[in-house]
Amino acid sequence: DWTTGPRGELVLWIPEEYREGLWWARNLHVIGRSKVTYNLKAFVHGTDWTQCYT
How high is the pLDDT of residue 18? 75
How high is the pLDDT of residue 33? 66
Residues 6 or more apart whose Cβ sits within 8 Å of residue 39: none
**What is the residue extent of each domain of the chain?**
2-52
Q: What angle do CA 15, 31, 44 make, to 5 degrees?
A: 35
Q: What angle do CA 36, 40, 42 make, to 5 degrees?
A: 135
How high is the pLDDT of residue 28? 64
How high is the pLDDT of residue 54? 57
Query: What is the per-residue pLDDT across 3-50, written as a single tens digit (0 to 9) for each?
Result: 788 898 887 788 888 777 676 666 566 666 666 777 778 777 778 877
The answer to whether the beta carbons of residues 23 and 38 sit under 8 Å apart is no
How high is the pLDDT of residue 14? 80
